[in-house]
Structure formats: structure tokens, C-alpha cells
Chain A
Amino acid sequence: MKLYIAKNEGAVGKRIALDDMILTKDLPTAAGSRMLDGYMSLFDATVVEKAMAAGYAIDGKLNVGEFGIDLMGETSYYGAIATDGHLVSAAAAAIEDGATAVLSLDVNGAPRRAAAQSGTVCVKPTYGTVSRFGTVPAACSGECVAVTAGTAADCEALLDVVAGYDAKDGTSLPDALRGEAKPIRRVAVLTALTDGVDAETVARIEAAKAALSKNGIEVAKIDGGELIAARVAWNILMSAELCNNVSRYDGIKYGYRTPSYKTIDELYTNSRTEAFGAFLKTVILFGSETLSTDTYMKVYDQALRVRRVLVEYFKSLFETVDAVLLPACSTCAYEENVDPELAFTENLYTAPASVTGLPAVVFGGVQLIGDAFSDKALLQLADLCEKEGK
């Protein structure tokens, strides 16, 4: 069990930790995989450069599930982090340890689940507003660099530093689009996505509703059952992109190479067989299948269509409300030996924002999804509700 995969003991001042999907040239980056154990990047991620330029010191690299796609780090090559038989948020542990905030790559909702279960604040920003240059690619069409902190204010401060146009990321959006944050006045609870969660999560939703109302926010209810489709769509897109992105790890140029091979095919096969974990292999196989000539139109193309429908659905929703409220996960804690495949169902709550690129903020154990570029407005609302709770 390892919280830090690599630690910068000399870090002083405002310290931030990075999850191990974010590349650094002075500290190794393994992405939770044996494949990249000890890998040294030739460059820093843009978010790292920006944070350092703003005076943040890099505290170290936090343990992460293999390529960031699991529930909460349980598939890491370096072992899951757990106490009392339950998985623990690495980001929350680092914050407890003195870090001001944590940057992590939100591929499949893990940072949001971790924030919900540890009582921290996490923002998964609008897709394209924070550069992905220098993050280990997993599911590029939806993953974003997320910020986790003890308070909404700390979260917003670091988001302000790392956000902005980056010419090195072809999907980076011009700064002019971000504009001023419109305040959020109307929030709708998504009832279809609060069915089936545990009692404590229901209680957190109720507490959040009360805090919102006290702050003069109009709280309504809508079904939102359409958003259930986001989960399957994201599972298809994520698996396919991941399968393609990890195909570069072939044991030829860098990363793990098997000691036993005679032919080039054996070199590929044995290196990947020995270095990748079981859950990752499941996802690779599933992703590969969705892209095969026979299934592409029936599966992958349908997922792209669902993505488009969901973007339109949110657009119509945001004509009447400013944000939606929903859980970030179904339970307040995962068992230490949980089946990682649960990540394919638990992302029911995180996939809507991943698949549409919309911003999501987790605070007080619940999640708000707002319109594109409402990141700061969501954080400011979270800040008000936090103060209410105290």
C-alpha cells in the first residue's frame, strides 16, 4: 500500500500533489501500471508548468488505478490504498498530509467518487478549458484534469491557475469562450439517478437541497432518466479509446519488456500479458471488439450518437434550470476487495459529465453538473453551501 509513488521531499510552501496520470520530468510517472513502472517523461504536463509558475510546489505523485479507469485506485500495480477494509481516497489523504490541492486525470469519475466519499471538493472542468497536454492518454474524448481540495475556494484558486488555452492541445478552447461565471439560481434534482443509492447518500442529497434552498436557490425535481444512457455510451467510448491509447506500449521503445521472447509477436504479447492487470485487459478486449469492422456501426457509432443526443438533452434542460444535482456514487464507501468491474456500473453518476464534456463539481458528498463554462459558478455555489454547513 503506497500513497505516494514518488515524493518530492524538498517541496515547501503551497504544495500540491499530482495523481500518477500527470507526466512530470523530475518524478517518474507509472499511470498505476507495471508497464510504465519507473517511466521518466521528457516533459512536464502543461498543468504542472502552470502550477509551478504560479508558485505551487509539486509534493509528489499519488497512487492511481491502472490508467485511471477504476473505482478508486484498487487496480494499481502498487496496490490499493485502504483502511478498515475500505478503499481510501489518495487525494484526501494527501490533503490531510498538508497538500493544498490535488490535480488528477478524471477518466472514469474516480476523482469525483473519491471526493464524494472523503468529503472533499472536486471540479471536473468543462472539456477543453484545461490542457490535457502531458497527461497519460486513456479516454481522450472525455477525460479532463480535475482539481480536488479541502475547500471550494482552494479548488477554484488552483483551477484559475491551470485553466486556459494551450496551443499544444488541439482540443483546447480559446479563453474568450470561458467568460464570466453566471450565478446559479435554479437547480433540479435528477430523481432517476437518486434511486438505488444507499441511505447515507440519500441523506447527503437532502442536506444539499436544504443548503441550496437556504442560499435562495430554487430547487426543483426532474426525472432525467435519459441520462442513464450515458453510462453505456461512455463505457464503449472509453474502452475503445483506451484500447487504442495503450496499444503504444509494445515493449519496443520504453516501458516494460518481457525477458522471454523469440519473435516480435512474442515480444509484444508477452510484454503486454505480463505488464497489464486483469481489469485493464478486460477493458482492452471490450474496446477492441467495439471497434472491429463487424460491430463498429452497431456499437461504437451508436455510442457517438448517444453522446450527441445527451449534449442536446442537457442543452434543453439548461433552458429551464442552471444545474442538476445528483450523487457521484451509489455508496459512501467501497470494500477493499471490491470487483473493479463495478466501475462500469458506478459510473452511472459520473458518465453524464464525462460523455458530454460538461463541468461537474462534487461537494458535501453530492454532485452538481452545470452548463459549459459554468465551472466557477458551480464552485462558488459549493462555497456558499459549505459555509452553510458550518
Chain B
Amino acid sequence: MKYETVIGLEVHIEMATESKIFCSCSAKFGAEQNEHVCPACCGMPGMLPVVNRHVVDLGMNAGMMLNCHINRTTTFDKKSYYYPDLPSSYQTTQWFAPVAVNGTVTIETANGKKDIRIKQIHMEEDAGKLVHDDWTDTTLVDFNRTSVPLIEIVSQPDLSSAEEVVAYLERLRSLLRFAKVSECRMEQGSMRCDVNLSVRPEGSDKLGVRTEMKNMNSLSAIVRAIEYETARHIDALENGTEELVQETRRWDDIKGKSFAMRNKETAGDYRYFPDPNVMPVVIDDAWYDSIKASLPEFPEVKRARYIDAYGLSEYDADMLTQSRALCDCFEAAYAECKNAKEAANWLISDCMNILNKSQKTADQLTLDGKALGELILLVLDGKVGRGNAKKILIAMFDEKLDPAKYAEEQGFIVSNDTGAIEAIVKTVVAADPKSVADYKNGKEKALMALFGKCMRELKGNCDPQVLQKLLKDTIDSL
């Protein structure tokens, strides 16, 4: 018999806010243990939650990017469970009226396009982190992550393969990075995923027994886990190797196996109820419209525009639309210099090189696009040589500066004094009769060597075409 896999995902994404969801502690990743904590996010009695408005902005933003209906009155609820990483023993989440419902995300795989329905997006607080020390047999708790704002995106069971799951996650990541909702960095845990999976005979409309694998945080592990679970389910159905039960399983990526954690009978009752300390959040038209107006173009719309309106190659358009930061910088640079190809080249090769050297990603680009455009103009107008322009660019990554002013200070302005250039050319030519002879015997490379020597003498401040012509004329006249 042929089987099909039915997969639904719950994706947790940490929102890119400065502070936590209900207190003013920093929400940034990477601090010393328990540095970003206060009595509120430690669950101490007497503290009351006050909703961070920016979290609701980002929740709405995510909902709109995923074509959801936004609930204009959205409420927070308490979910109770005991675990040492949850200091108040309840998580404040959205159960009854989540910020966004009923959306769609379109994915593209080798089989073409497919719409994945989104059931809901809700906002909630993250839990802390437990650090187990096997050596001393102790567990330490770090509350830095407690109350960091999350959105959970719940899909309908519309996915049917590991390939589709990967396409879906990549699509979510792209959309939410573009909307600046989150950096979606799986390796830092800012994007995590629960995989709900069942298997049924192909064509059947009844869902099979579902198992859930929690807290998956790498695409490759998700692919392996889905393949393993699918095979395990089919084996159970075909050969009766085991009885499938609805349960939560843990994926062990090193062993390449999933293990039962808890089943329906032993699962806790979360006892959801409305949080009386958080008033319903009412989203009025002005608030709704301001978020709507702030939405970015979808990446593929940008890509098409870059090709059609700016004449970029598909490769260049693909490279730029990997990252919102690259796009923003590109568009600002283009507005200044009106040369799309130049702007794209400077970003894709030079800027990416500089980022790579400092082990940063495109999303971490903070370069001022307008200044980049000014620099490109200096080069195009022949005022600064390309080599010197690259030095200026490196300086622009370290501090905000005016490229023209900086070029002047550093002595990077191209000289138009042909007499001075000619004098240097004559000296260089006179000092290297061998290269001159080689060139005259047809060795083009020899001319390049002479050209390089002249450029060094001129500290790069010379229009290459002017130099080339003067050099040729000088040799020819010998």
C-alpha cells in the first residue's frame, strides 16, 4: 500500500525587541547568566505584567506578512505547568483570542507551488534555560530568556514531506526577516519548531495517529527526524512492529532515532484561563493602519522589480533579496547614484567580503546606503580610484563618514594634472627598459607591469584611462 505523510508545524520565533514582553529587562541574546533578570521575569510575588507595545506591533506585522486576519481585540491567557525554568509556574500566552488567525504561506518546491494554511499566530513569553552539569550532577537555571517575547505560528496539517517542511521554514524565515520581526536564527534558538506527524494510506481522508517531536532547531535534523518518523509509522502500520500512540517524542540527532517522552495519559492539563492582570489589547484603526503601512515588499516582488525596473541579472537580484538589510542599503545607494549594477556589485562582492571577514551575516549590515551611493558616484565621476574607494568603504564600515570629505583628508582625490602624470610615466619608463622592450615585442603583460608601477607612484589618484593613454603614447614616442 502507498502511504502519505501529514505534517503540521508549530514554529516558535523570538521577536527582535529590545526588552522583554512584560518587563523592561533586555531581551538580547548572549549576556552572562541571569544578567537580564528582575523580580517580574523571575516570577516574584507582587510584580504585575505590563504589555510591551512593540511586541504587539511585531505580532501584527507577522500576521499581516502571513496573510492572516488580525484580531482587533486580542487577549492574554495563563498556561500552568511546573518546571524549574518557568519561575511563575505559568506561561502567559494567547489561547482564546490570538493576535492573528487564518492565514496562508505559499511555498515552492520541485513539485511547484502550494499554499500552506496558517491556523493562528499567538504571542507568548519564553521560558528560562536549564543547564545540566553531568559531572557534578546538578542543574543550574538561567532566567535571561524568561519572558523574552515569542510568536508561535501554528500551521494546519498541510505539509506532506521533509522537502515541503524545509521550503515552509525557509519561507517563514525570509518573510519574517524582511518584516524585521525576528532574525530567525535556528543556531541561537530564536527559531524552533515542533513537528506533528502522522501517516495514512494515500487518498484516505482520515488522519492517522499523530506524534509530536518538540524543540527541533536545525533544518537537517528536521529532515532526518521526519524521514525516520515516517518510516517508523509506516513500519508500524504495515508490519505491526509496534502500536502507534498519540505522544510527544524526543529526537536524538546523534543516534538518529526518536524516543517516547510522554503520552496522552501522562500529559499535563495546562488549565488555560484569561490572565486577569493583562487587559485585552484593542487594536484601533490608526494602530492597524500604521503597521500595514510599514510592511515591506515581499522578497519575490522586490526580486522581480530589481530585474524589470533596474535591469539587474537574476543572480544579482537573488543575492540582494536574501536579506532585508542588503535590499534597504541597495535601494538607498541606487537612489543616490542611479546605477543599479554598480550598487549591486559593491554590495554583493565588496560589502559581503568585509562582512565575511568579521564573521557577520548580510542581516547585520549597518552601512549607510546613501553614503555608499555617494562613494560610487565619486568612482564613476573619476574623482576617486577604485582601489582607494575600497579603502574608503572599509573605513565606512567602522564609522559613519562623508566619503568625499574622507577621500580629501586621506589624499585619495584623482589628479587631473597631466603634466605631473607624464613626468612620473617618463621616470618609470626610463627606469625599466626591459619591460618597454618586452612590450614592444608584443608582450601585453609588460605594459600592465609598467601601468601598475605608475599607479603605485601616483598613490592610485589617477584616472586609469588617462594613465593608460599617456603610458602608451610615451612608449610609442621612444
Q: How far is the CA of A240 from the CA of B277 in the complex (A)?
A: 14
Interface residues of A in 280-336 (CB under 8 A from B): 288, 291-293, 296, 300, 304
Question: Interface code B256-287, partner A: CB below 8 Å = 1, 0 otherwise?
Answer: 00000000000001011110111100000000
A264 beta carbon closer than 8 Å to chain B: yes
Interface residues of B in 287-333 (CB under 8 A from A): none
**Given contacts A136-B46, A291-B271, A43 and B276 within 8 Å (CB-CB):** no
CB distance from A390 to the nearest CB of B (A): 40
A59 beta carbon closer than 8 Å to chain B: no
A89 beta carbon closer than 8 Å to chain B: no
Cβ contact within 8 Å between A170 and B46 = no
**Given contacts A170-B277, A170-B278, A250-B82, A291 and B272 within 8 Å (CB-CB):** yes
Mind listing 12 A-B residue pairs with CB under 8 Å? Answer: A36-B45, A132-B48, A135-B46, A170-B49, A170-B50, A170-B51, A171-B48, A248-B45, A252-B84, A291-B272, A296-B271, A304-B274
**Given contacts A140-B277, A141-B276, A296-B273, A253 and B42 within 8 Å (CB-CB):** yes
For the A-B complex with A170-B50, A291-B271, A304-B274 known, give 5 more contacts whose Cβ atoms are closer than 8 Å.
A140-B276, A167-B50, A170-B277, A253-B87, A296-B272
Chain A residue nearest to B143 in the complex (CB) = A253
CB distance from A243 to the nearest CB of B (A): 8
Cβ contact within 8 Å between B269 and A293 = yes
The 8 closest A-B pairs by CB, nearest first: A141-B276, A291-B271, A247-B89, A134-B46, A23-B46, A140-B276, A248-B88, A136-B45
B43 beta carbon closer than 8 Å to chain A: yes
A168 beta carbon closer than 8 Å to chain B: yes
Cβ contact within 8 Å between A168 and B87 = no
Chain B residue nearest to A288 in the complex (CB) = B271
Interface residues of A in 242-300 (CB under 8 A from B): 244-245, 247-248, 250, 252-254, 264, 268, 288, 291-293, 296, 300
Q: How far is the CA of A241 from the CA of B89 in the complex (A)?
A: 13
Residues on A with C-beta less than 8 A from B48 are: 132-133, 168-171
B44 beta carbon closer than 8 Å to chain A: yes
Residues on B with C-beta less than 8 A from A241 are: 273, 276
Q: Chain B: residues with CB nearer than 8 A to chain A? A: 39, 42-51, 78, 80, 82, 84, 87-90, 141, 269, 271-274, 276-279
Q: How far is the CA of A244 from the CA of B92 in the complex (A)?
A: 12
Cβ contact within 8 Å between B271 and A244 = yes
A41 beta carbon closer than 8 Å to chain B: yes
Residues on A with C-beta less than 8 A from B278 are: 170
Q: How far is the CA of A296 from the CA of B276 in the complex (A)?
A: 16
Residues on A with C-beta less than 8 A from B272 are: 291, 296
Cβ contact within 8 Å between A247 and B80 = yes
Q: How many pairs of A and B residues are in contact by the CB < 8 Å rule?
A: 89
Residues on B with C-beta less than 8 A from A140 are: 276-277
Cβ contact within 8 Å between A41 and B46 = yes
Q: How far is the CA of A41 from the CA of B274 in the complex (A)?
A: 27
CB distance from B80 to the nearest CB of A (A): 6
Question: Interface code A11-50, partner B: CB below 8 Å = 1, 0 otherwise?
Answer: 0000000000001000000010000100001110100000
A73 beta carbon closer than 8 Å to chain B: no
Cβ contact within 8 Å between B89 and A248 = yes
The SS class assigned to the B binding surface is loop
CB distance from B260 to the nearest CB of A (A): 19
The SS class assigned to the A binding surface is loop
Q: Which of B45, B80, B90, B272: most chain A Cβ within 10 A? A: B45
A137 beta carbon closer than 8 Å to chain B: yes
CB distance from A253 to the nearest CB of B (A): 6
Select one of B46, B82, B276, B279 contacting A247, CB under 8 A: B82
Chain B residue nearest to A138 in the complex (CB) = B45
Cβ contact within 8 Å between B271 and A292 = yes
Chain B residue nearest to A241 in the complex (CB) = B276
Residues on B with C-beta less than 8 A from A292 are: 269, 271
Residues on B with C-beta less than 8 A from A141 are: 276
Q: How far is the CA of A388 from the CA of B271 in the complex (A)?
A: 52
Q: How far is the CA of A10 from the CA of B274 in the complex (A)?
A: 44
CB distance from B83 to the nearest CB of A (A): 9
Select one of B44, B84, B273, B277 contacting A291, CB under 8 A: B273
Select one of B43, B51, B273, B279 contacting A248, CB under 8 A: B43
Cβ contact within 8 Å between B44 and A254 = yes
Q: Which of B42, B46, B48, B82: most chain A Cβ within 10 A? A: B46
Chain B residue nearest to A245 in the complex (CB) = B45
Cβ contact within 8 Å between A247 and B90 = yes
Cβ contact within 8 Å between A45 and B89 = no
Cβ contact within 8 Å between B45 and A171 = no
Q: How far is the CA of A168 from the CA of B24 in the complex (A)?
A: 11
CB distance from B142 to the nearest CB of A (A): 13
